[in-house]
Amino acid sequence: MKKKKKLKKNLKIITSVLIIIVGILGITKPLWTKKENKNILYSEEVITTMKEQNIYDEIMKQDYSQTVEKMIEENKYKSEYLKEYIKINLQEREDFANLVNLFLNKNYNAEEINNIFEYLNDTNQKKLTEMDYIDLKEYFKISNMEVDKIDRYETYQKEKKVSVNDAVTKVNIGLDLEFYSEIETIKDPDSYTTLLNKYRGLPENYVPEDLTSLSINKNYKLRKEAAEAYENLQSAALLDNVKFYPFSAYRTKAYQNNLYTNYAKRDGTSAADTYSARPRHSEHELGLAVDIRSDGLSDNLTDEHYTWMLNNSYKYGFIVRYAKGSTPITGYIEEPWHLRFLGVDVATDVHEKGITFDEYYDLYLKENHK
């Protein structure tokens, strides 16, 4: 009898517990359902719009997408692009919805669009909106790539049999073109790190405002910071018994024009172009270049002094601008004597990377000079 009572008591307890569990399940089941439903993340306003536009069912079959929500919010949603929308990462920018549809219209897929937003700068993105579809898979991770030059990159790569990265940098410099055939006027002539070469020239009337005479010879001038750096470089060299002197520094446009014209008359234009810059293309006109000679020489450095300059000038903000082996890039013969001031940080980086300033500018500075 006692066993029966105990059994009944246990059954009541079990029943009570089950009732409580069922009650709890009854209350919480809707909440769990919501958590399991990934699409519940859409706002009420967006869900209402979905229903009004008869797109609710098709969207709810897919996982929640921030991009889909954005497209609906901005009234840009197109049903034919749903499968691509859900694979496109939302970007916090005002023109996102418009760009997504524009790129999809041009037949870019979701992966390509994600790469466009991740790897291409605003300038390249804008250019891309004005062009037909381009296969960019080889170029997305090349930071200095410019989308409107891809045809030139491919042509140069085939002709020169170089890597894609190399082709991009060489074409950006302009090496697929004739020297002086297409000239860009620089917009930042006062910058210590502006690039001047056979494709980039100074504004017609540019003259540096802070020219300072060098203490060793008042006839030679550089911009103030470059002049101070030169004095420090020369003092440091003397401690290593390396004696050198300037023989050319800042030049006016008229001076450079006269110099180049005389060379061209003497040796012909083609030859003159290999060792002299045309007016408005000489770094001397920036007030940031100085030609130096070893003690006892008239216009050059000894091999020993050249080696010292390569290994030390960057510490004071200078580089040997036209070093040995640089002719294919610069278009000038080797000029061990020609120093260009860039500032210590950039000069050090150029030295450590072991590339010409033309290459360095395209890879690391170009965007900052636009």
Any idea which residue has 């059954």 for tokens? 11
Cα–Cα distance for residue pair 298/293, rounded to 1 Å: 6
Give me the phi and psi of 287, to 5 degrees please: 75, 20
Nearest to 361 by CA among 339, 333, 335, 329: 329
Query: Which token pair is 175?
Result: 């090496």
Cα–Cα distance for residue pair 95/86, rounded to 1 Å: 18
What is the CB neighbour count within 10 angstroms for residue 181? 9
Query: Which token pair is 329?
Result: 């890039």
Q: Name residue 345's amino acid.
A: D
Catalytic residue among 84, 112, 285, 335: 335
In the residue annotation, 146 being an active-site residue is answered as no
Nearest to 222 by CA among 348, 327, 316: 316
Give the Cα-Cα-Cα angle 256, 183, 261 (nearest 5 degrees): 25
Query: Which token pair is 177?
Result: 């073109």
Cα–Cα distance for residue pair 265/276, rounded to 1 Å: 12
Length of the chain: 370
Query: Which token pair is 349?
Result: 């980086």
Query: Which token pair is 26?
Result: 């009854």
Helices (H) and strands (E) in the chain, counts: 17, 8
Cα–Cα distance for residue pair 144/120, rounded to 1 Å: 9
Residues paired with residue 217 on neighbouring β-strands, in sequence order: 214
Cα–Cα distance for residue pair 332/263, rounded to 1 Å: 14
Give catalytic residue positions: 335
